[in-house]
Structure 1
Amino acid sequence: MTDYSNSPELQASVLGKTTQYSDQYDASLLHPIARKLNRSQIGVSEQALPFFGEDTWTGYELSWLNLKGKPQVAVATFVFACQSAKIIESKSFKLYLNSFNQTRFDSLASVQAILARDLSAAAETDVRVTLYSPREFNCLPFTDLPGICLDELDIECHEYAPNTQLLVAKSDELVSETLHSHLLKSNCLITSQPDWASIVIRYEGKAICHASLLKYLVSFRSHNEFHEQCVERIYCDLQNAFAPTMLEVYARYTRRGGLDINPFRSSHSNRTSMLLRTNRQ
């Protein structure tokens, strides 16, 4: 696999570098990264994406001051369409959100509008931003993942780098099923810090061998790639291996620095990411 972690765009990011934390609003802290850096590696054309979907981020540590200097807090969701030209590098996103901490705003609605404006400009797409005040926190409950859990399968694992050869069909029988696992782990492309996730795979088509799928997911364990890129790789590998008539891949990553990232990819444009939040988040 081509190593694109040394590209000038990634080398200019703040990941893995000592940084100063600003508590005064500063939109320039956002560092966009082109999605095409990874997509070209897995054979995905920006002009003809083989999937639809979105990346939903949750911000648990958002705070600012009202006009009287009193602190305000909220939980935020940020939804980026996968068709956007850019993603936001996660540490820069955190630095940007921290810059609200000692800045005065006249209302929650004003903060929401500023977030949507800045993130949309950085990602070069319309970003949907929703802020939840403390009285609305129960809108984000923990839920179980749907479908069959693969994690109790008694498998033997030796591969810890993505290996599509592990993917095999169970039979030619056509099925419709939802599977999930909590054993997905990859590493940050730049810092090699571990990224932990639960993943849901829903498909219609030739039956997939559950043991082979779990071994394949485990094979990401030593792989260095951003969250969004891992999910797109998994989606494309499953599509290429089994050609399902319907496929959805949705990963719920655990938070780091007050942010979680939850990429969703689907073969159908009318699907949106499931409203899930596990207790790992």
Structure 2
Amino acid sequence: MFPTPIAKKSRSYQLTYQAVLPFALILWLLPLIAVAMFSIKPAADFANGNYWGWPSSFEGFTNYGKVFLESNMPRYLLNSMFITIPTVLGAVALSSMAGFALGIYKFKGNLFIFFMFIAGNFVPFQILMVPVRDLTINMGMYDSIQGLVLFHIAFQTGFCTLFMRNFIRALPFPLIEAARVEGVAEWRIFWYVVLPLMKPALAALAVLIFTFIWNDYFWAVVLTQGPSAQPVTAGITEFNSQFRAAYHLMSAGSIVAALPPVAMFFLMQKHFIAGLTLGAVK
């Protein structure tokens, strides 16, 4: 049912795997390598068709300097932080409480409510573009950071609740029963018993949601316009003009925009992997 581990394959298979793996990795990273190369090239290299060649002149400091000092990129980065961090905190907090209620308590309609959370994940988000945009306009939240935060929390809570509910159901229930026998209130059970056991799951979920929200482009374009509320993914298009696109500056901006989620993953890598693999081996 499961593939045989590489260590148990024949020596010839292992050598073939080791030889092919670097080429597969380079092929997978090719778009990122191209963007990184363009971020240090002058604008003339693109016009001259120098896509993969050595830069005619090194303009890395100039390009990145223009991105930070001659554009609204710092503002876009701050907007992304103001959107992403509250969304992660709100979605994780709500899903933890909802997952606790759906995973611990047995009541009529439990599965129905749980399926309602799951059902939102199967709705193609593109078909909601017009009603969501009209809703934010009617609520006075169009082109605002608060509108994007509330929208992302509402959309991400379904997936987060699915994640947390399944994790909580795998916890040892006798711990909760023992706390109830001792007369501990339900909210104290959640805060002092369940929540500490959920730390790996919370870390894994926080990394996932941070990456999802930071990299969002579709809703950033639909629900915002201009540097007052646009996140960095939509703000990179500022380097496009009516008759010309500054691809070298767009590439530099893209590299800058990709750094925070990469840093977030490496900082939380230990907890992220622990949260995803917890319960895989008993």
Q: Same fold (TM over 0.5)?
A: no
- Which has more strand, going by share of residues? 1
- TM-score norm. by structure 2 comes to 0.25
Larger-gyration structure (1/2): 2
Structure with bigger helix share is 2
TM-score, normalised to structure 1, is 0.25
